[in-house]
Structure 1
Amino acid sequence: MPKEDARKLYATNLRLLCQKHKSVSEIARKIGINRQQIEKYLKGTSLPSAYWQHQIAEFFETPVEAFFLGDVIPGTLLAQSKATASRNNPSVLVESLSSSELSRLRNYEGIYHVHFVSPAFKSLIHVGVTLIREQNHRMNSVFFVRSRDPETGIIHRSHLYGTVFLRGERLFIVESSKRAQDRLSETILYPSHGDRMKYMTGICVGLTWHPESEPYASRTIWRRAGASLDLKQAIRGCGLYSLSNPQIDPVVRNYFGTPGSLFENNTISA
């Protein structure tokens, strides 16, 4: 990405995040940065160093990569304050991890393509993206999914933020939505495939507060993205796919089984 474009995107998203706070001076003081310097970032005349990008992202509890996304993450979803995040993020359910637990969890840091099915599109596979990263002695997750309704053409987007922990050999991810506080999800994964660090299989359970949406559970398979794939590129792969689509990994295709009974064989509805 050209430096000028990077500065503009960073400035736009930083301004959106700052709107949730009283003043730029307050933000600068809490981050520990000079106000004049953060003003340069807000104007797009300068880009923070890697260190300050990390510090700013940690303050707002937003992935560093998200500051450089334009049309992928709407600004209204990106603009979440640290106070809101700490109140709604289900990471409050888990105390700070021990050093040994955190050391094990670091093996799972990275970007994953998440595959699952839902009652809304019974013959198609959802492909989303989850970023797992360490923050404040915890392992947190950010889930992105974007899909276009094949009938109406409407694009649906969803973002969930959560925490990750291990119990035995199983990986648990508990997530919720920040903006509307209307969705809770739990995923339990077991790296049972031969390539333990590339594929993980399990079940995800979703619950919303909308009366028209019923809770359901779906089998899921996660595929670790290659080291050369960044978050923005991974999110571009989100969408709805038929099981026969050549873009679907053969391991994923075999996991879900027969296309004609995709939903019936892989979900449980309330």
Structure 2
Amino acid sequence: MRDDPSAQNFATNLKLAVSYYPSVAQVCRKLGINRQQFVKYLGGAAFPSRGTMRRICDFLGVDEFEILMPPEQFRDIIRLRPNAAFEDLPVPPRLKDMLAQAVSSPAEVRRLHGYYYEYRYSYTRPGRFLRSLVFIYGWKSYTFYRRIERLKEVHSTGAPPEVFKYDGMIMPVGDRLHLLDFETITQSELTHTVLYLNYSNRVSRLVGMTMGVSALSSHEPVSARICLEYVGRNVQRSRALRGCGLCAPDAPEISPFVRDYLTQPGIQPGMIIAPPS
């Protein structure tokens, strides 16, 4: 065991990861692993089974291949990776209320898990629809999502598209879903979306309003109608992403429902919420 580089890396990396927690005993309690056995992992005298390895990695918030990396590489990963040690830190009461709201009505929100195409008017290309890919998924009792935007004409060739990725959380409030996300590449934008909660057994569409900031130099706050169309629980992501980008409202990718909803009177496409002059 000690001659296996992967096992040696695991023991060293596990020690480092556990050092971010108040005690080894706390880690063992949260993992449900016998402390004597866990100490053997720390000392390199034993190597966990695949199931135990998965539990340890899930708890630490790392992948199995990461915890087997050379220690100098793993150190950079774990240093920047938030972990469960922060779960026990006190937070302001109002933030606790918000987090509690995020886990309410879990069964209703779990039905939404899967992939969606998101449609709205483009903030930067007037008259064009933007089609993005959204993945809604669960983690513990929370529901998160990832949205990927490609600012390029759908199916066009040539230069690679400008890509934006957003990670966010879904909070059900009454009969609405509030989505708040953060752009992870430029780290310079927050988006707030409000959707109607669909109570049907099979969710095919979600509609509402979204507000963000335009990518133009003015960086003005903008809002638009939004529609999410369900694609499936599992998709071929590369193929689905190729269908994302900018397109005309009458493009074959746009269903009549989406076209009618985004263009109906009452909300101007890409409405700018400008400050008073």
TM-score, normalised relative to structure 1: 0.62
User: Aligned partners of 1:58 and 1:232: how far apart in 2?
Assistant: 29
Q: Which moved more, 1:228-237 or 1:214-223?
A: 228-237
Judged with a 3 Å threshold, the aligned counterparts in structure 2 of structure 1 residues 23 and 219 are, in CA distance, closer, same or farther, namely same
What displacement does 1:225 show? 0.8
User: Aligned partners of 1:157 and 1:80: how far apart in 2?
Assistant: 27
- Matching of residue 186 in structure 1 with residue 196 in structure 2: no
* 2:81 maps to amino acid: K
What displacement does 1:95 show? 1.0
User: Aligned partners of 1:247 and 1:125: how far apart in 2?
Assistant: 10
Judged with a 3 Å threshold, the aligned counterparts in structure 2 of structure 1 residues 80 and 243 are, in CA distance, closer, same or farther, namely farther
CA contact (8 A) 2:132 2:148 kept: yes
Residue of structure 1 equivalent to 2:269: 266
Gaps of 5+ in 1: 1-21, 36-48, 63-78, 87-91
User: Aligned partners of 2:51 and 2:260: how far apart in 1?
Assistant: 41
Q: SS at 2:219's partner residue? A: coil
CA contact (8 A) 2:114 2:234 kept: no
- Matching of residue 125 in structure 1 with residue 129 in structure 2: yes
Kindly provide the CA deviation profile for residues 168-227 of structure 1, in whole angstroms up to 9, marking residues without a partner as x.
111110011234431010000115698971111111100379853211001100001134
Residue of structure 1 equivalent to 2:139: 135
User: Aligned partners of 2:54 and 2:238: how far apart in 1?
Assistant: 17
CA contact (8 A) 1:183 1:209 kept: no
Judged with a 3 Å threshold, the aligned counterparts in structure 2 of structure 1 residues 95 and 195 are, in CA distance, closer, same or farther, namely closer
Judged with a 3 Å threshold, the aligned counterparts in structure 2 of structure 1 residues 103 and 148 are, in CA distance, closer, same or farther, namely same
Judged with a 3 Å threshold, the aligned counterparts in structure 2 of structure 1 residues 222 and 82 are, in CA distance, closer, same or farther, namely same
Q: SS at 1:265's partner residue? A: coil
Q: SS at 2:105's partner residue? A: helix
Judged with a 3 Å threshold, the aligned counterparts in structure 2 of structure 1 residues 190 and 124 are, in CA distance, closer, same or farther, namely same
Kindly provide the CA deviation profile for residues 111-135 of structure 1, in whole angstroms up to 9, marking residues without a partner as x.
1111111231112111111111111
TM-score, normalised relative to structure 2: 0.60
Residue of structure 1 equivalent to 2:45: none
Larger Rg computed on CA atoms: 2
Residue of structure 2 equivalent to 1:26: 16
Judged with a 3 Å threshold, the aligned counterparts in structure 2 of structure 1 residues 196 and 123 are, in CA distance, closer, same or farther, namely farther
User: Aligned partners of 1:80 and 1:239: how far apart in 2?
Assistant: 35
Kindly provide the CA deviation profile for residues 119-153 of structure 1, in whole angstroms up to 9, marking residues without a partner as x.
31112111111111111321111111112268x94
Judged with a 3 Å threshold, the aligned counterparts in structure 2 of structure 1 residues 122 and 209 are, in CA distance, closer, same or farther, namely closer
Residue of structure 2 equivalent to 1:236: 242
User: Aligned partners of 1:28 and 1:121: how far apart in 2?
Assistant: 49
User: Aligned partners of 2:52 and 2:202: how far apart in 1?
Assistant: 32
